[in-house]
Structure formats: C-alpha cells, structure tokens
Amino acid sequence: MDRVMDGFLGQDIGELTEMLHFSEEMEDLRGALRRDGLVPEELLLVGFKEGEGERETGALVDMSGGIFEYERSLAAGFVSFRPLEDVAQAIQLYPGVCLALQLLGQARGRTPKPSASH
C-alpha cells in the first residue's frame, strides 16, 4: 500500500475503533465480544460493510494479530462472530487488516512481511 492510502486507512481505523470502544450503537457488539472472552478495548475495528436487510459485517484485529469477523443486524443486534484464519482473504475483504497488522508489528519492534496479495 502507498502512504496516502495508509493515511486514509489509518484515520478510518482510528475512527472505527473509537466507535467500537465508546458508541452506544456498538454496545451489543461489545457485550458479545466480552462473552467470547475478548476485551473490546484491546481490539481495533479495521473495517465494516453495510449489507442487505440492515446487516453489517466488520473485521476486528486483536493486539496479537488475531483477525475476527462479526455480523450483526442493525434491527436485531449481534448475530455472529468468527475468527478469520486466511489473512490474505481477510485483507481482500477488509483492506484495513493489512495496515493494522503492520502497525502491530512495528509496535512490537518488527515489521511483518506483507503477503503477495497486497
């Protein structure tokens, strides 16, 4: 990715993560994450998409680089949550995953090798 795109994605990740941590609209998601043993305040919300029937999907990255996808209904609340094992597919679905993994690698003092897909 180039620096301009990284800047835009970084701003988006910051805004989305703030929404995850503090927005009343995300309380159902925070509750579901806690029930699965995750700490919402230790997650980055790196992207989300609105779909048909008021459904929303999004990607989360934890501080160890784990990637998760959630789905919720804006009308009915939280629907599902699952790990995304295929990093290349996660990046294709949610480009912010790549930047989040790079930032986490830098924070740990190493830069992960980008895959050929990005």
Q: How many residues does the chain have?
A: 118
Asked, for residue 114, whether it belongs to a domain, the answer is: no
What is the share, in percent, of the chain residues with pLDDT greater than 70? 81
pLDDT score for 41: 95
Asked, for residue 113, whether it belongs to a domain, the answer is: no
Q: Which residue has the higher pLDDT, 55 or 110?
A: 55
The CATH number covering residue 19 comes to 3.10.450
Indicate the angle between helix axes 27-35 and 3-22, nearest 10 degrees.
80
pLDDT score for 70: 94
For residue 55, the enclosing domain spans 3-107
Query: What is the pTM (predicted TM-score) of this model?
Result: 0.80
Q: What's the chain's average pLDDT?
A: 84
User: For the segment 43-96, what is each residue's pLDDT rounded down to a tens digit?
Assistant: 999 998 988 888 999 999 999 999 999 999 878 777 788 999 999 999 999 999
Q: How far apart are CA 84 and CA 106, in angstroms?
A: 22
pLDDT score for 109: 66
Number of domains observed in the structure of the chain: 1
End-to-end C-alpha distance for the chain, whole angstroms: 7
- pLDDT > 50? residue 2: yes
Asked, for residue 112, whether it belongs to a domain, the answer is: no
- Give the residue-averaged pLDDT of 27-53: 91
